[in-house]
Structure 1
Amino acid sequence: YSEMNFCFDISSFKNLFPNKWSAIIFVSYMALFINQGLLVTATKTKDNRYTYSTIAAVFFTECTKLCIAISIYLKDEKWTKLMSEVLASKRVLILYFVPAFLYCVYNNLAFVNLQSYDPTTYYLLLQFRVVVTAVIYQILFNRKLSKWQWISLILLTFGCIVKNIGQMNSADVDKKSLVSFGLLLILFQVFCSCFAGVYNEYLLKDNEVHIMIQNIFMYIASMICNFFAFLSFNFSQLNDALSYNALQQLFQPIIIAVIVNNALCGIVTSLFLKDLNSILKTFASALEIVFTAVFCWILFKIPIDLYTVIAIAIVTYATFLYSQNPVVNRPKDIGYQKDEELNQVLINNSRKARVTEV
């Protein structure tokens, strides 16, 4: 049993955070996504509507991501090097249209679902992504989940149900829409996130292409996808959607904050998938729920009822349990075929660290 808790020993955190930069990535990832939920909630009116085009906001977010990625690359390299790498790796651009399309759907559904759910409920229901990711891994990669993995996933699902029941008991909730259409949108958003995340992580861990070049490809593909999404939803009102008054709505300070924060979320996520692992990502998801609930109570007076407290406790424990034996997506050059083999390596590293400290 003591070996199962190796990742929570102080010395074992050296395996989780290889350097200070990886710890900064972890904290930044968690903080930015918590902040995104709070910012989007702050842009809603009293009747839970947005006064600006959310599709346009997502499109300009991708433009901001592209500018940031290019700026980071040019900090160390020249324009000629950038253009040569882009031309040499143009085949990769085609591959990035798959996650770009799915992330386009995911980002736009985030606005829709945050209009239907408070941030705590939204992030809690998003924890279904752990279950969906596990199923995708088991089917696509022929990986059989262990007993403890399934126990943690069942607990996680139960925690989501507890929170959902709590909201259904509220007097002002449309129970029919909550159970059917609203929940269906959340599940579809979760699927887009999981499939795109797995595919994107696979591409990012290919060391042949610079990470910022990959990000540039990703954001170019995303801009194209979001542009067509914008046309699809606003074609009949294209002139109004692109009018000065419509675009002026995006230049409110709070909307600019949403766009910039969301852009930083994308950059940090790519660094997270490149340098860290699913153990830390699971921790980040659990901490998002806890801190989002607290901040929403402080900032928006959204009450933390008993259902929320119980659900947070269950989800946090399920995440804790899952993190001890997670489904791990390793880089191509690592030859471990089973999660147990990787865990044993980490256990041995932890033992060596203890011996060194003594």
Structure 2
Amino acid sequence: KRLKNVSMMKKHEEENHFYGIPLKYVSLVVLTVQNTAAIIVMRYTRATPSESSYLTTTAVIMGEVMKVVASTFLLWRSDDALRTVMSSPGELLKTGVPAFLYLIQNNLQYVAVSNLPAATYQVAYQLKIISTAIMSVVLLNRRLSSQKWLALFLLTVGVAVVQLSAMPAKGSHPPNVNLSLGLAATLAACLCSGLAGVYFEKILKTSRVSLWARNIQLGLISIFIGMCGIYFDPHQYEVLIDGGFFQGYTMLTFVNITVQGCGGLIIAVVIKYADNILKNFATSMSIILSATISWIYMGFDLTVMFLVGVLIVNYSAYMYGKKDTVVILEEPEDEVELMEDHKKTLEP
């Protein structure tokens, strides 16, 4: 029995490694690279008029379709059966919770952007980093030291500074704004983001349903929600009927969809083998990396503000990964001698 347990532990360790490297670190590096590529491709498509005529809603749905197809193939290749995807209605409902929260988050973001200046929204939305940490403590009983909380605060500030550095000096203010509504929507979106991510992490790490089965469930629910969103939006539905589902699609559009679909798979692996907090660090690093690549190849201007933000983000990552310092106070010699004398008196 002991040999069987040892062999099972070795098998589990092998499954959590990729060529001897823990999947935790491999997935974080891959996520950083993928997110960097996604940001660069999206920037290029937005800057090119011929590439920005496709419907973003249909592109999101196609990204989910790709994620479902890839997850189905990976589930088929593994030991798990495809029937596990729909085997338990209760498990399917669990997956529906983060999908529904992401839907609410997207709608709240739209309300926030419509009622806040772009700079205010970008700064306030970085509070999702803090909300993710709070939800990790509440839902997963994760303990974070004061050093790690400070690192997360610095990460929030650093990312906000980097995002602000890329904005024009005179930002446009949306007409008929309601600042209170915009800030409330942003804070609610941050809470939904943290709750959805951490809840998905919890069901991935505590349920027997495999990672790929969960991905299929989440993808199918997201496709259904996306199609309903188009159908119940009169403008989107009319445009879709007139021009078709794939209107404005080019080869680069499919590249963008592929990159985004891969991101959904990688994020699930990161949440499974690392956590949502480390995911935030990886995506923050990708923002910096994409801006640096844009500076080299696309003429993006690096400002002092951007460099300050980079330094803050890098220092926050160093602080979060650094072991917490523990101060051990030595007992005075006279107290130690008194304790030893007391022990001797108690000896028979």
TM-score (norm 1): 0.70
Q: Which residue of 2 aligns with 1:93?
A: 92
Deviations 1:298-328 (Å, cap 9, x if unpaired)?
A: 34322111101101111221232123369xx
Q: Taking structure 1 as reference, are residues 69 and 113 closer, same or farther at Cα in structure 2, changes over 3 Å only?
A: farther
Native 8 Å contact 1:250 1:256 kept in 2: no
Native 8 Å contact 1:283 1:320 kept in 2: no
The amino acid of 2:308's aligned partner reads I
In structure 2, what is the Cα distance between the partners aligned to 1:300 and 1:110? 28
SS at match of 2:101: helix
Q: Taking structure 1 as reference, are residues 154 and 212 closer, same or farther at Cα in structure 2, changes over 3 Å only?
A: closer
Native 8 Å contact 2:139 2:199 kept in 1: no
Q: Which residue of 2 aligns with 1:55?
A: 57
Native 8 Å contact 2:54 2:249 kept in 1: no
Q: Taking structure 1 as reference, are residues 86 and 311 closer, same or farther at Cα in structure 2, changes over 3 Å only?
A: closer
Q: Which residue of 2 aligns with 1:206?
A: 206
* 1:66 aligns to 2:68 (yes or no): yes
Q: Which runs of 5+ in 1 are unaligned?
A: 1-15, 327-339, 341-358
Q: Taking structure 1 as reference, are residues 317 and 125 closer, same or farther at Cα in structure 2, changes over 3 Å only?
A: farther
Deviations 1:283-302 (Å, cap 9, x if unpaired)?
A: 42342132122022134322
The amino acid of 2:290's aligned partner reads T
Structure 1 window deviating more from structure 2 (61-70 vs 245-254): it is 245-254
Match of 2:46 among 44, 47, 60: 44
Deviations 1:21-69 (Å, cap 9, x if unpaired)?
A: 614322221111111111111111468x942211111111111111111
The amino acid of 1:92's aligned partner reads E
Q: Where do residues 182-331 of structure 1 align in structure 2 (5 Å cutoff)? A: 189-232=189-232, 234-236=233-235, 238-243=237-242, 245-249=243-247, 251-277=249-275, 280-324=278-322
Native 8 Å contact 2:137 2:143 kept in 1: yes
In structure 1, what is the Cα distance between the partners aligned to 2:166 and 2:86? 51
Native 8 Å contact 1:62 1:263 kept in 2: yes
Q: Taking structure 1 as reference, are residues 266 and 163 closer, same or farther at Cα in structure 2, changes over 3 Å only?
A: closer
TM-score (norm 2): 0.71
Structure 1 window deviating more from structure 2 (140-149 vs 179-188): it is 179-188
Q: Taking structure 1 as reference, are residues 45 and 55 closer, same or farther at Cα in structure 2, changes over 3 Å only?
A: same
In structure 2, what is the Cα distance between the partners aligned to 1:112 and 1:28? 32
Q: CA deviation at 1:136?
A: 2.6
Native 8 Å contact 1:93 1:221 kept in 2: no
Native 8 Å contact 1:25 1:268 kept in 2: yes
Q: How many residues align?
A: 303
Q: Which residue of 2 aligns with 1:137?
A: 136
Q: Taking structure 1 as reference, are residues 160 and 284 closer, same or farther at Cα in structure 2, changes over 3 Å only?
A: closer
The amino acid of 1:302's aligned partner reads F
Native 8 Å contact 2:201 2:275 kept in 1: no
In structure 2, what is the Cα distance between the partners aligned to 1:288 and 1:231? 34
Please report the RMSD computed on the Cα atoms of aligned residues, expressed in angstroms.
Answer: 4.0
Q: CA deviation at 1:203?
A: 0.9
Deviations 1:206-239 (Å, cap 9, x if unpaired)?
A: 341122111111111111111222223x335524
Q: Which runs of 5+ in 2 are unaligned?
A: 1-15, 327-348
Q: CA deviation at 1:152?
A: 2.1
Q: Taking structure 1 as reference, are residues 264 and 117 closer, same or farther at Cα in structure 2, changes over 3 Å only?
A: farther
In structure 2, what is the Cα distance between the partners aligned to 1:95 and 1:195? 13
Native 8 Å contact 2:111 2:182 kept in 1: no
Q: Which residue of 2 aligns with 1:350?
A: none
In structure 2, what is the Cα distance between the partners aligned to 1:77 and 1:141? 28
SS at match of 2:247: helix
SS at match of 2:72: helix
Structure 1 window deviating more from structure 2 (148-157 vs 262-271): it is 148-157
Native 8 Å contact 1:54 1:111 kept in 2: no
The amino acid of 1:289's aligned partner reads I
Native 8 Å contact 1:86 1:213 kept in 2: yes
Q: Taking structure 1 as reference, are residues 186 and 305 closer, same or farther at Cα in structure 2, changes over 3 Å only?
A: farther
Native 8 Å contact 2:39 2:287 kept in 1: no
Q: Which residue of 1 aligns with 2:169?
A: 171
Q: Taking structure 1 as reference, are residues 275 and 38 closer, same or farther at Cα in structure 2, changes over 3 Å only?
A: same
Q: Taking structure 1 as reference, are residues 182 and 325 closer, same or farther at Cα in structure 2, changes over 3 Å only?
A: farther
In structure 2, what is the Cα distance between the partners aligned to 1:34 and 1:117? 22
Q: Which residue of 2 aligns with 1:20?
A: 21
Q: CA deviation at 1:192?
A: 3.3
In structure 1, what is the Cα distance between the partners aligned to 2:186 and 2:310? 18
The amino acid of 2:128's aligned partner reads R
Higher-Rg structure is 2
The amino acid of 2:91's aligned partner reads V
Q: CA deviation at 1:162?
A: 3.7
